[in-house]
Structure 1
C-alpha cells in the first residue's frame, strides 16, 4: 500500500506516458472467476497496464478472436455440435480443450452420425476419436483450405452453393473499382450493386432488388480510398466481389496445394465434395417456432492454425467456407459463442449494430490522421499498431503482449521509451514458464522494481516477487459466477444464470480470500469509495442497482466478502426473476445455483442479421484494406518502418504466402543452417493440465500419467529409427542458440518431420512439477518481430534438431 500511495501522490503515469502500475492474469479470461472484486480495485485505481503477457492472446486463438468478432461476433468460434453432421477440424483439439462438455457433446454427435475430419500434423486425442486423420505439414493449413474453396468455385456447379444467401446477405454482389475499393453512389457514398430487375446500378440497400452475383459493369460512380481520397469519379468499370473471389482462388487447385501441405489432391477433393454434400443447401429447420436455414457443416481451427502468420488466411477461409453454403451462424453450422471486443459483452446479439456499407459496426482503433497517435496508452502499443483489438476491457491483453517484454531492452523508433512499471501485480499466471524465451523473460522479471504476487504456491514467476499474498484456493474462496447462455468453445446452453463458488474448507495459514485482499488494498490506498462504487456498477459481475431493485453497498464503509457477495447474490436473483425474488447469500449457499431459460435461437446471429437488414462482410475485405493503408501512412509519417512487413497482411483477398518459410528463415537469422534443424516442434493441449496452472498438483500428475505423451517429446517411429533413438531414451532438442533435454516417446501417429511436446513444463521452482524432467517449447522459442503477424500474434512452433544423448 505504501508503494501504491507513493504512486498516487506523484501521478499514475510515468515520463513516457505509461501506467506505473501493471497487472498480469492467466489465460482464457479464467482468472476473473477467481479474483473476486479485484477488477473493482483496478477500476477504482485508474490507469493500469495489463499488456505484459504470459502467453494468453498472442499464442492462443488470437487471429480468431479478432477476425471472428469482426465478421460474425465470434471471439470464440465453434461448430453447432448438437446439430452438425460434418466437421472439418484443422488442429482443434476439442477432446482436450473442450473439457468434459466437449467430450460429451462430440461423443453424442458421433453417435448421431457426425463425421469429423481431423487435419493436423500429429494424431491428437481428438484425431484418435475422428473418422479421418489428415496428417498435414505444419503451418500449411491455408493451402488446404484454399484448395477446398477452389474445388467449390471451379469444379462444382454454382447451384450447389447458397446463391440467394451470397446475393442478399453478404458483400458478394458489391461492385469493386479499378483501385480495389467499392464503387459508391456519389450522393450517399453507399456501395453499388447491379440490379437485374431494373438493369442498372443501385445502392446495396435498395428494396426489392435482385443483385447480380457475377459480371462486370461500367457505372456512374465514385471510388474512395484510404483517408477519403477520391481515386476515381465518373463512368468507372467494376466487377463484383464474388467475381474477384473466383479469380483470386483460381490458382489454388488441390494439385497446387498438395505440393505445399503434403495432403493428396484426391483427399482434398473428396473432403470438399463431402462438405458440400452434407451442407443441405436449400433446406430449413424450425427453432422455437422460427424457420432458419439448416446447414449441418462446420470448420473449426485450433491454436497455431488460427494465430500468427497464416492466421488471417485460415480465419478468412474458414468463414468463407461457411458463407459459400450459407452455414454461417445458422443451425448446424459455424457459430460464434461469445463477444469480448464489441460491447455489450454480455449480449452478443445486441452487439450486432449497423455499421458502414451494410455491415456490422466494429470499434476499430483509429487510423485517420486526426485521431491516430504514436503515443500508446500502454507498453505493447496495441492502440497504435493493431486496429482490430479495439479499446475495450479485453483489448490490452489481445495486443502484441510480447512487445511489452521485448521493448524493455530496445524500444522501436517512434514509440515512447518503454519502461519498467513501478508495481506489477501477478495472479494465476506464470509467464516465466508459459511465454516464449523464458530464460530472457525471467531475467527481465528480476529487474522489475516491485512485484506483488497473489498465489497459492511458489512458482517460477513469483520466485521474483517482493510480496507474496497467499490467495485462498478454489475450495476456500467465495464468488458468484455467471453460467450458461453462450460463452466459450462448447459452452452454449438453453439455460443461463449464476453459480456460487463457496468454501468447503476453512482457509489455512495466512491465506485470504481475494475479495478481502482487494478491499484492504482499496482501503489502504485511499480509494475505498471508488472501489465500492465500482462494485455497485457491476465490477463483481452484476450491477447492484437496476430496474429490478437497488442492492447497492454504502460506498464509505469497509465490507467483508460475505456482505459484498450477499449483495451480488440479491442482485443476481432479482435479475433472474425480473425483481420477483432477491435471495441472499445463505439461500445461494444452500441451492448452489439458479438459472432461467436461454432461447436456443439466440445461439445464432443469422436472425439478427436478417432483422436488422445487415450483411456478413464476406468475401471481399475492403474495410481491412482501407484501414491497413491508413495505418501504413500514419506510421510512415512518423518514420516508423519496423511494422512494414505486417502492413502487407492488410489485403482485401489474402494471397497464400510461404508461411513455413518464415520459421525456416528464423533459423538462418539465428546463425544456423536450415538443413541442420529439420524438425517442426509443436505443442498440444493437455486436458489434465490447465495451461500448466495445476502442474504442481500430484493428483493431476497421476491422472496425466495415464495419457500417452506427457513424459517426453513425441517422435515418429521411422524418424527415431534413423536417428538411433528408442522409446525412453535421453534426448536433446536444440535450436542454433538454445537446447533442452528430455525423454523420447516413440509413436506412429505423428509426421516424420514433426516433434510434439504436450503442455508447457520445464519448471524449476513449482513444487512437484520441477521434478518432472519434461522440456518445454517455450525455452526454445524466441520473441520475434519477424514472426509476429499484423494482429500482433505469433505461434508455438520452432524449427529444431534432435539427437540421442549418451
Structure 2
C-alpha cells in the first residue's frame, strides 16, 4: 500500500535567511525539508539547520503545554496548566501592575530579530511600557542607524546579487561576515552569495580569521579585532587622496564632502597600520581595488556592531559606498524596492506596525535607561499632572491616524532625533531599552525595578553579557514569563513557561528582511498545545482592552489583512508562493535620498544637533593605560562570536544531526601560542579574562594571528541536568561596562585574555 505523500511549498525560519523550501509529508507527518530549486530567493539552497527542521518539530524534549513553577527559581520543578490558566494569570498580573504602579514596571525582552518582533514592540507601546528590550544595540542596530543618518533608509544597502539588472558585483568586500559558512543573514543565503563571489573579478575579505572565503579571496586583510573603524577611515583617506571618487555622484548627490576631506587627512594608511596590523601598502591596494573595480558591493556582518566604535565604523563604510558611486547601481549596493500591493509588517519599511505613536508621550522618559527616569517619575506624581497627561493621552489616541501620517512625512533621521530627545537615553541612538542597563536597573533597583518580565524566544543567560548579573536579576523580578521551544537555562527562572510553535506550525506572510518580495510560510503540523507567539500577544492584548491597537481576532486575521491590497487571502497567496517587486535602480535621480538634505550626508547636521560626531571617528576599544595593565597578565586578544553553520546563536545544541557535526565549543588558537602554553590540538583549555574563565576545546590553526584567539558563542549543554550554561559560555568573560557612547554596543570582539590547558596536571599560567 502506497503512503500518502504531499509536498507543501513554504519558507524556512531556522535562521534569518527566509529560504524557500519544499516540505515533504507522508501520511501527514513531515519527513524532510528540501530547498526549492524554482525559488528566485534561494535557488534551491538549504543549509543543515533548515534540513534539520523535522528534528526540531518532533524533538522529544520540546515544550508542548504551558507550565507553572512549583519549586524555587532555577529548581526546574513544574506543574502542567492550561492555556486559559496561563493567559489569565498573565493578564491579571499585567492589569494589576498597570493600575497600581504604572505600565513601565513591565518589560518585554527578546533576542535577535524574529517573526514576532513587530507585534512584540506594538504590544509594549499599546500597553504603555517604554521597556522594550532586545539585542539591536549589538546586532544590526548600529548598521541600521548608519544607513538612516547617511542615506535616509531604515533598510541598509545590500549587494546586488540576485541579478535583477542582469549583472552581479565585479568586486565584493566581505567585511566582518562569513555568510557562506553560516547559512544566511540579512535575507541572503550562502548559496546566492557563493555564486556572486565566484562570478566577481575581485573579492576582498576583511576578517581577523581566515575564513573559507578569505582563503580563496583576491586579498585578505587580517585586521586586529575591533579595529575596523580605523581601516574604513584609512580607505576613505586613500580614495580621496588618490582622486578615486565618483566625481559626478559626490558633486550632485552628496553634502559635506569638504568637511569630510578636511576630516580624513589625518587618517592615513600609516596611521591605520599601527592600529589594524595591516600594512599601509595592503590598505592602499584594497582601497584602490574597491574604488576602481566597479560595480562594487560591501557585505557587512555583525562584527561591525560589537565594538566601542560600532556606529561610527558603520558610518565610515556607508561613506565608502557613497564616494565611490556604488549606491543603488546595478551590481552595487542596492536599496531594495518594497512590495507595494501588500501591507508590509517589517518595521524597516512600515514603522507604523510597531505602534510607536501608541506609547504615551511622557512614558518615553520612564524607560530604565533614560537619564530622566527618576525626575520624570517625580514630575508625573505631582499635583494635577496625572489628570493633565490623561487628557493628553486620550487626545493622542484619538489623533493617532493623523499623527501617523505626519510622522511618516518626517525623515527617518528626524524621527530618531525626536525619539532620542523624548527618551533622553544614555545612548542616543540605541533603538531599544539598553540591555545591560536594563539588567543593572533590576539588581540595583535604579531607577526602579520592573515587576514583570516576558522573555520571548531568547536565552539571555547564554546570549547576553555578564550572565551572572542576569541570573541575579531574574531572581529579583516578581513575575517572569518565558516563551520558547525548550526549557532553557533562562526558562528555569520563570514563573510561567509558554510552548512556542516553530515555523512548520505557522501560517505567515514573510517579509522581515527580503523587502523586495513576500513569501508564504504554511502550517503543516501541530505538536501538542504549541502556539504562535503572535497569537498569544494578540489574545493577551485584547484581554487587556487594547483592541484598538490589536483589532484582529488572531494572527491569521492580521495576515489576511496584509494581503487585502493584492486581492488575495492566505490560501490563494500560498498557491502563488511569492509576490515580488520589480527592482528600480538609481532611484535617487528622481526622488533624492530620504535625508533632511535629500542627499547622501557625508557630514550630518542632524547628528551634530544630537551632540554626535557628524563625520565618522575612530575610538579604540580600551584606553592605552588599560592596554598596558591588561596585556601583562592577559597577553592574548579574544574575539568572540564565531558562528557555525550548524547553529543559530544558542539554538540547535539538542538537535542530534547538527550537534554531531559540531559537538564541542571551539577555541581557535595559533600554533605558536599553543606551543608556548603546552596545548595540543583537541585539548580542553581555559579562557580567562579579569571577569571569569570558561572551558573550550582547542583547535590549533594558523587561521588566527599568534596574539589572537577566536571563540564560539552561544554554548550550553541541554544533555546535562544543569544545562552547563556557565561551563563554556563565552559571555561569562565580558563585563557590561564598556559601551559605544552613540548606540550602546559592547566590546565583544576585542578583550584581553589568557589561555591555558584544563587537562589534569597542566600548566596553569
Q: TM-score, normalised by structure 2?
A: 0.71
| Matches of 1:367 and 1:720, distance apart in 2 | 50
Residue 311 of structure 1 corresponds to 310
Residue 283 of structure 1 corresponds to none
Change (3 A) 1:12 1:753: farther
> Number of paired residues?
604
Classify the secondary structure of the residue corresponding to 1:326: coil
The Cα offsets for residues 256-280 of structure 1, whole Å up to 9 and x where unpaired, read as 222221111111111122122213x
1:652 lines up with 2:667 in the alignment: no
Residue 409 of structure 1 corresponds to 443
Contact map agreement 1:328 1:606 (CA 8 A) in 2: no
The Cα offsets for residues 355-377 of structure 1, whole Å up to 9 and x where unpaired, read as 6xxx8753134499xxx56xx5x
TM-superposed CA distance for 1:118, in Å, is 0.8
Unaligned segments of structure 1, at least 5 residues: 173-241, 280-295, 377-382, 390-394, 412-416, 537-552, 554-558, 629-649
TM-superposed CA distance for 1:482, in Å, is 2.7
Change (3 A) 1:507 1:352: same
Contact map agreement 2:209 2:703 (CA 8 A) in 1: yes
TM-superposed CA distance for 1:76, in Å, is 3.6
Contact map agreement 1:38 1:518 (CA 8 A) in 2: yes
TM alignment of 1:50-89, pairs within 5 A: 50-53=131-134, 56-72=135-151, 73-81=153-161, 82=163, 83-89=168-174
Contact map agreement 1:354 1:614 (CA 8 A) in 2: no
Contact map agreement 1:22 1:423 (CA 8 A) in 2: yes
Residue 255 of structure 1 corresponds to 270
Contact map agreement 2:146 2:318 (CA 8 A) in 1: no
| Matches of 1:57 and 1:604, distance apart in 2 | 28
Classify the secondary structure of the residue corresponding to 1:304: helix
Residue 502 of structure 1 corresponds to 523
Residue 755 of structure 1 corresponds to 709
Change (3 A) 1:492 1:526: closer
Contact map agreement 1:688 1:703 (CA 8 A) in 2: yes
The Cα offsets for residues 61-85 of structure 1, whole Å up to 9 and x where unpaired, read as 3311212122221444422234211
Residue 416 of structure 2 corresponds to 364
TM-superposed CA distance for 1:345, in Å, is 6.8
| Matches of 2:482 and 2:221, distance apart in 1 | 44
Contact map agreement 2:412 2:595 (CA 8 A) in 1: no
Residue 693 of structure 2 corresponds to 739
1:94 lines up with 2:179 in the alignment: yes
| Matches of 2:352 and 2:123, distance apart in 1 | 20
RMSD over aligned Cα atoms: 3.5
Residue 678 of structure 1 corresponds to 635
TM alignment of 1:507-546, pairs within 5 A: 507-508=527-528, 510-514=529-533, 517-518=536-537, 521=540, 525-527=543-545, 530-531=546-547, 533-536=548-551
Residue 384 of structure 1 corresponds to 425
Change (3 A) 1:386 1:573: same
Residue 756 of structure 2 corresponds to 803
Contact map agreement 2:653 2:659 (CA 8 A) in 1: yes
Classify the secondary structure of the residue corresponding to 1:452: strand
| Matches of 1:351 and 1:767, distance apart in 2 | 54
Contact map agreement 2:479 2:495 (CA 8 A) in 1: yes
| Matches of 2:580 and 2:136, distance apart in 1 | 32
Residue 215 of structure 1 corresponds to none
TM-superposed CA distance for 1:526, in Å, is 5.0
TM-superposed CA distance for 1:106, in Å, is 1.9
TM-superposed CA distance for 1:745, in Å, is 0.9
Change (3 A) 1:666 1:452: farther
TM alignment of 1:322-333, pairs within 5 A: 322-333=321-332
Contact map agreement 1:52 1:405 (CA 8 A) in 2: no
The Cα offsets for residues 587-634 of structure 1, whole Å up to 9 and x where unpaired, read as 56xx45533341111796564317999533432233212221xxxxxx
Residue 637 of structure 1 corresponds to none
TM-superposed CA distance for 1:492, in Å, is 5.7
Larger Rg, first or second structure (1 or 2): 1
Classify the secondary structure of the residue corresponding to 1:796: coil
TM alignment of 1:440-459, pairs within 5 A: 440-459=469-488
| Matches of 1:652 and 1:513, distance apart in 2 | 43
1:624 lines up with 2:577 in the alignment: no
Residue 669 of structure 2 corresponds to 715
TM-superposed CA distance for 1:112, in Å, is 2.2
| Matches of 1:260 and 1:433, distance apart in 2 | 31
TM-superposed CA distance for 1:129, in Å, is 5.0
Contact map agreement 1:257 1:265 (CA 8 A) in 2: yes
Residue 165 of structure 1 corresponds to 249
1:29 lines up with 2:70 in the alignment: no
Q: TM-score, normalised by structure 1?
A: 0.68
| Matches of 2:234 and 2:122, distance apart in 1 | 49
| Matches of 2:581 and 2:143, distance apart in 1 | 25
Residue 778 of structure 1 corresponds to 731
Change (3 A) 1:354 1:673: same
Residue 141 of structure 1 corresponds to 228
1:478 lines up with 2:510 in the alignment: no
TM alignment of 1:216-231, pairs within 5 A: none
1:108 lines up with 2:192 in the alignment: no
Unaligned segments of structure 2, at least 5 residues: 1-87, 339-345, 355-404
